[in-house]
């Protein structure tokens, strides 16, 4: 009986964490994996989660300054053998909802400093 109880307890999903973002957006994560961003009306950003082609795009690490949010997009699915592979970055301007994607960190960092006139924040996992 104790072995069955231990097995059931170890199968529990980690809790869902929510980090509030500017203008009613929020980042949701289960503790470092499968991060998503939702809009003020609680809709998932289409650029994240499971895509029509079966790929999986997650925002596990992100940074915020004023109305700007930057996400590191990782593919964590069958395409990558279930490994977090960075496939790009997105910058969300929360006042308008405008989202722009960039193929690499250098391009995203340059866009960030052009848009915000401040250095890009350190990207960290939500909690």
> Per residue in 90-103, pLDDT tens?
999 999 999 999 99
pLDDT tens column, 1-44: 444 434 434 444 566 889 999 999 999 998 767 899 999 999 99
The DSSP annotation for 72-116 comes to EEEE-SGGGTS--EEEEEEEEETTTTEEEEESSHHHHHHHHHHHH
**Angle, CA of 120, 124 and 127, to the nearest 5°:** 135
Total-model pTM: 0.83
């Amino acid at each position: 009986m104790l072995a069955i109880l231990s097995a059931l307890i170890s199968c529990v999903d980690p809790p869902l964490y929510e980090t509030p973002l500017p203008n009613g957006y929020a980042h949701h994560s289960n503790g470092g994996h499968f991060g998503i961003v939702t809009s003020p009306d609680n809709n998932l950003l289409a650029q994240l989660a499971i895509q029509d082609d079966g790929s999986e795009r997650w925002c596990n690490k992100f940074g915020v300054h004023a109305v700007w949010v930057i996400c590191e997009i990782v593919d964590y699915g069958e395409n990558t053998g279930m490994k977090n592979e960075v496939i790009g970055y997105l910058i969300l301007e929360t006042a308008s909802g405008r989202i722009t994607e960039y193929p690499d960190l250098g391009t995203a960092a340059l866009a960030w400093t052009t848009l915000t006139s401040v250095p890009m924040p350190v990207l960290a996992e939500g909690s």
